[in-house]
């Protein structure tokens, strides 16, 4: 993969770790990044424990990459992400003026839909403003679903746990802030199915390919019960199309030199579309 900042994902919520809800964010974020020629470098799940969330966010802020955090930015007692972000940054929380305006606008919309008067000083409406209390210095992320914004501090971006809100907000951040990193058509994986071989026997060849072609990475994905290929190794190289082509040719030549039984060749990536 071409060099650039790491992209990370933090998914917050006891409901994921308990199995009450299945996580959908990880595969979707992989998809959103891949469509832009980018790749997820790491992901971490964390429950609704403030100390763990704070520690996780400290690493994200200090990591120098781009991180998306999904969940826990509401205003109920089990939502801790906003407070933990402030703790991780050692800055105070404050009501963001743009967030306040958007939340008040949303409350007025709801009042109109319900045919009731908007009462800004009613206790529940005042409490809803907590959803706009962010770490000092935060910038808002617009929420096209219900106007309740997320927020960014540097390259760490916080969105709700609901996919219908989180995913377009993540896309907005990617397209608005990181389009200069997009590498559409500049990444490809080429591999071949290898039957009847052990990874240990192929490791010297893999190391030789990486030494001879430092711009690519070699990957090996063994399987013991694949429905189509049975026991096999999906062995290949990945990177920019130019360096991948000669590296893959050397890999296949090396496999043939070892007498390996080869199956179909596979091509993945934007330049293969």
- Rounded to the nearest integer, the mean pLDDT of the chain is 93
Measured over the CA atoms of residue 193, residue 197, residue 198 and residue 202, the dihedral's sign is negative
Do 111 and 160 have their domain in common? yes
Q: Which domain holds residue 127?
A: 7-181
The pLDDT, as a whole number, for residue 23 is: 96
The pLDDT, as a whole number, for residue 246 is: 97
* Residue-wise pLDDT tens digits, 116-163: 999 999 999 999 999 999 999 999 999 999 999 999 999 999 999 999
Do 217 and 160 have their domain in common? no
- With respect to residue 155, please indicate whether it lies within any of the assigned structural domains: yes
The pLDDT, as a whole number, for residue 35 is: 85
The pLDDT, as a whole number, for residue 230 is: 87
Residue where one domain finishes, among candidates 155, 181, 207 = 181
Residue 41 burial (10 A CB sphere; 0-12, 13-18, 19+) = middle
Give the residue with greater pLDDT, 135 vs 199.
135
Q: Residue 185 — pLDDT band, cuts 50, 70, 90?
A: low
Residue 102, pLDDT above cutoff 50: yes
Do 48 and 97 have their domain in common? yes
Question: Rounded mean pLDDT of 82-91?
Answer: 98
Q: Residue 218 — pLDDT band, cuts 50, 70, 90?
A: very high
The pLDDT, as a whole number, for residue 273 is: 41
- With respect to residue 40, please indicate whether it lies within any of the assigned structural domains: yes
- With respect to residue 217, please indicate whether it lies within any of the assigned structural domains: yes
CATH of the domain at 249: 3.30.70.600
d(CA 43, CA 143) in angstroms, rounded, equals 23
- With respect to residue 1, please indicate whether it lies within any of the assigned structural domains: no
CATH of the domain at 45: 3.40.980.10
Give the residue with greater pLDDT, 88 vs 34.
88
Number of alpha helices (DSSP H) and beta strands (DSSP E) in the chain: 9, 12
Residue 3, pLDDT above cutoff 70: no
The pLDDT, as a whole number, for residue 228 is: 85
Do 265 and 132 have their domain in common? no
Question: Rounded mean pLDDT of 155-175?
Answer: 97
Residue 1, pLDDT above cutoff 60: no
Residue 145 burial (10 A CB sphere; 0-12, 13-18, 19+) = middle
The pLDDT, as a whole number, for residue 191 is: 96
User: Count of domains in the chain?
Assistant: 2
The pLDDT, as a whole number, for residue 2 is: 44
Q: Residue 4 — pLDDT band, cuts 50, 70, 90?
A: confident
């Amino acid at each position: 993969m071409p060099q650039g900042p790491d992209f990370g994902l933090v998914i917050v919520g006891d409901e994921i770790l308990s199995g009450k809800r299945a996580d959908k964010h990880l595969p979707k974020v992989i998809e959103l990044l891949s469509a832009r020629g980018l790749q997820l470098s790491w992901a971490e799940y964390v429950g609704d424990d403030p100390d763990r969330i704070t520690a996780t966010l400290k690493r994200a802020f200090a990591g120098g990459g781009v991180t998306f955090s999904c969940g826990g930015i509401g205003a109920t007692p089990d939502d801790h992400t906003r407070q933990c972000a402030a703790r991780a940054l050692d800055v105070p929380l404050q009501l963001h003026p743009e967030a306040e305006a958007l939340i008040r606008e949303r409350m007025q919309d709801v009042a109109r839909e319900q045919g009731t008067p908007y009462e800004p000083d009613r206790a529940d409406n005042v409490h809803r403003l907590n959803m706009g209390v962010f770490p000092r210095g935060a910038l808002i992320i617009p929420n096209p679903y219900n106007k309740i914004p997320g927020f960014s501090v540097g390259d760490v971006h916080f969105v709700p746990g609901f996919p219908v809100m989180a995913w377009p907000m993540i896309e907005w951040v990617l397209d608005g802030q990181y389009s200069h990193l997009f590498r559409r058509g500049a990444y490809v994986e080429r591999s071949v199915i290898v039957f009847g071989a052990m990874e240990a026997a192929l490791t010297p060849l893999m190391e030789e390919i990486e030494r001879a072609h430092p711009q690519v990475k070699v990957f090996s994905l063994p399987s013991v019960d694949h429905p189509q290929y049975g026991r096999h190794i999906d062995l290949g190289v990945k990177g920019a199309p130019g360096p991948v082509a000669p590296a893959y040719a050397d890999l296949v030549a090396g496999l043939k030199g070892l007498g390996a039984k080869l199956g179909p060749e596979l091509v993945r990536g934007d330049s293969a579309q």
